[in-house]
């Protein structure tokens, strides 16, 4: 039974177009692309030689990792998540103490962690050098390496775990943390997700021929959700992170509140009907969105903006159609809709959390970031949604409610409803 309202009090972000909440806010407002050409992908004969990789300075490394932690650290997802998680914690005004905090936990997801570390280990093992793997091979390559690392840094004594549900991971993590707080099992949860960068994560997608190969000379133009010329998703990486806590706890601590999590839904299409390992069952998608509204206690008229999953594939029109049917809205009545993937590409397991951070910034500051590379909207989408609802420039707009959904391989879905928090609304 739901007993506690849940609010967001801290944000952290490591994205391919900016690292840190303030630079990221500016980047998504101005439509800065994080997609670049990477010569190692060319050397390895990838079809798609572009991707999104966050730039991490040594100064930033020294802020968040000790010299010892940096030794032999090859797990890029752990680096991104380690930074984003600690940034969110500090942003929420939480201290790191010597005491363990039994009321704070972590749900921080990933797809695969530390592939570059695994690669190093495989080579050493095959060279009969297993004894020389060192002490961090396990810590950098276990999926829960990220939640374990953050748990130790922050001294969290509640549940500390890692979830994994492909591209749904980040949104699922928020909803799992939300459940834990609303049911009274924790006061605060650090939630988020991270994804490694580079050829050993992206190779499998290149092999599936679902990445664009036409933009190696024009990387910034490649990620085109909702565009007529969408040619596949651009692989990316990074991490988004949020501190969520009971409204009671936030008010007690007297910290600023970014937004409220009203509720949501997680489901699966069971790989039935049109659903498969790689494609969603539309009935389940619609049901996920509808149930999220019910859980949140809002009507479809209340949705001001959809922060969509939209990856820039042939499935974009299907996703828009599913939103339209689930909300019973179309044309000029359809909410505004945008996709962060036009800025940073598809950060896979980190996509949901990065996009949630962008949604929360839109809510709290009153803007809608532009959809990039979408000069010509796909005609199938224009049949459903009026063009003005797909902003291509920054819109200053007071928003009250955003719906955010993520869909992932395995036919899994998650949809969450976020609301702007106002001081007048304090009944915990």
Partner 1 sequence: MTAEVIQDKLKVIVQPYVNHQENFDNLTSKSDFINDLQINSANLVDVVLDVEDEFDIRIENDDMEKMISVEATVNVIQKKLETK
Closest listed residue to residue 315, CA positions, set 264, 375, 274: 274
Stretch that binds partner 1, among 130-138, 191-199, 317-325, 348-356 (CB under 8 A): 130-138
| 8 A C-beta contact, residue 148 and residue 139 | yes
Q: Which residue has the tokens 């190779």?
A: 203
For the record, the structure tokens of 58 come out as 């040594």
| Least distance (Å) between residue 134 CB and partner 1 | 6
Which window, 42-50, 75-83, 129-137, 221-229, contacts partner 1 (CB under 8 A)?
A: 129-137
Place of tokens 């001294």: 155
Select from 134, 155, 203, 366 the one that contacts partner 1 (CB under 8 A).
Answer: 134
Q: Of residues 2, 63, 122, 132, which one binds partner 1 by CB under 8 A?
A: 132
DSSP 103-133: TEEEEEEESS--HHHHHHHHHHHHTT-GGGS
Q: Closest separation between CB of residue 364 and partner 1, Å?
A: 40
Output 138 or 207, the one with its CB closest to partner 1: 138
Is 67 a binding residue for partner 1 by CB under 8 A? The answer is yes
Q: Which of 57, 97, 135, 393 binds partner 1 (CB under 8 A)?
A: 135
Distance separating alpha carbons of residues 338 and 405, to the nearest angstrom: 11
Least Cβ distance, residue 73 to partner 1 (angstroms): 13
C-alpha 242 chain-centroid distance: 10
* Shortest distance in whole angstroms from residue 130 CB to partner 1: 12
Among residue numbers 200 through 219, which ones bind partner 1 (CB under 8 A)?
none
Q: Considering beta carbons, is residue 124 or 185 the nearer one to partner 1? A: 124
Among 3, 22, 26, 71, binds partner 1 (CB under 8 A): 71
Query: What number of residues does the chain have?
Result: 428
Q: Output phi, psi for 15, to 5 deg.
A: -120, 165
Residue 330 backbone phi and psi in degrees, to 5: -155, 175
CB-wise, 68 or 277, nearer to partner 1?
Answer: 68
Cβ nearer to partner 1, comparing 66 with 376: 66
Question: Per rule CB under 8 A, is residue 68 in the interface with partner 1?
Answer: yes
Contacts with partner 1 by CB under 8 A: the residue count is 6
Using the contact rule CB under 8 A, the part of the chain among 45-53, 132-140, 210-218, 351-359 near partner 1 is 132-140
Q: Which stretch binds partner 1 (CB under 8 A): 8-16, 66-74, 172-180, 245-253?
A: 66-74
Neighbours of 47 (CB within 10 A): 14
Residue closer to partner 1 by CB (options 67, 277) is 67
Task: State the DSSP H helix or E strand holding residue 181, giving kind and residue range, or none if neither.
Answer: helix 169-182
- Smaller CB distance to partner 1: residue 97 or 135? 135
Considering beta carbons, is residue 141 or 406 the nearer one to partner 1?
A: 141
For partner 1, the closer of residues 154 and 401 by Cβ is: 154
Residues 113/121, Cβ–Cβ less than 8 Å: no
Report in angstroms how near the CB of residue 112 gets to partner 1 at its nearest: 23
Residue for token digits 């010299």? 67
Residue 311 CB neighbour total at 10 angstroms: 23
Calpha distance 406→319 (Å, rounded) = 10
Task: End-to-end CA distance of the chain: give it in Å, rounded.
Answer: 15
**What distance in Å separates the CA atoms of residue 384 and residue 310, rounded to the nearest whole number?**
15
Enumerate binding residues for partner 1 (CB under 8 A): 67-68, 71, 132, 134-135
């Amino acid at each position: 039974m739901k007993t506690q309202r849940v609010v967001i009090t801290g944000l952290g972000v490591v994205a391919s177009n900016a690292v840190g909440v303030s630079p990221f806010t500016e980047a998504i407002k101005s439509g800065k692309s994080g997609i670049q050409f990477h010569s190692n992908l060319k050397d390895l004969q990838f079809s798609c030689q572009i991707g999104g990789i966050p730039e991490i300075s040594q100064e930033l490394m020294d802020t968040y990792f000790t010299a010892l932690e940096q030794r032999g650290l090859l797990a890029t997802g752990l680096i991104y998540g380690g930074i984003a998680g600690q940034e969110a914690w500090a942003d929420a005004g939480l201290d790191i103490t010597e005491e363990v905090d039994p009321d704070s936990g972590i749900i921080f997801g990933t797809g695969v962690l530390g592939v570059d570390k695994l690669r190093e280990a495989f080579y050493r093992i095959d060279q009969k050098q297993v004894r020389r793997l060192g002490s961090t091979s396990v810590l950098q390559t276990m999926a829960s390496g990220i939640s374990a690392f953050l748990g130790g840094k922050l001294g969290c004594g509640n549940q500390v775990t890692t979830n994994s549900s492909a591209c749904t991971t980040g949104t699922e993590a928020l909803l799992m943390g939300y459940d834990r707080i609303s049911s009274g099992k924790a006061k605060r949860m650090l939630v988020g997700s991270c994804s490694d960068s580079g050829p050993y994560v992206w190779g499998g997608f290149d092999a599936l021929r679902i990445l664009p190969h036409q933009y190696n000379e024009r990387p910034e133009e490649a990620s085109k959700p909702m565009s007529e010329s969408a040619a596949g998703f651009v692989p990316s990486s990074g991490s988004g992170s949020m501190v969520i806590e009971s409204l009671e706890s936030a008010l007690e601590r007297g910290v600023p509140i970014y937004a409220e999590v009203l509720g949501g839904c997680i489901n699966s299409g069971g790989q039935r009907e049109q659903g498969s390992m790689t494609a969603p069952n539309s009935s389940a998608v619609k049901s996920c969105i509808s149930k999220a509204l019910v859980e949140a206690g809002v009507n479809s008229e209340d949705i001001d903006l959809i922060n969509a999953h939209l990856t820039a594939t042939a499935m974009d029109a299907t996703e828009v159609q599913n939103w339209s049917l689930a909300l019973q809205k179309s044309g000029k009545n359809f909410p505004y809709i945008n996709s962060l993937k036009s800025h940073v590409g598809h950060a896979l397991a980190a996509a949901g959390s990065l996009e949630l951070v962008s949604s929360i910034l839109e809510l709290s500051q009153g803007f809608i970031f532009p959809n990039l590379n979408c000069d010509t909207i796909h005609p199938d989408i224009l049949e459903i949604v009026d063009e003005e609802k797909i902003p291509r420039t920054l819109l200053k707009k007071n928003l009250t409610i955003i719906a955010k959904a993520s869909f992932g391989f395995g036919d899994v879905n998650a949809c969450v409803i976020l609301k702007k928090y106002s001081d007048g609304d304090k009944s915990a």
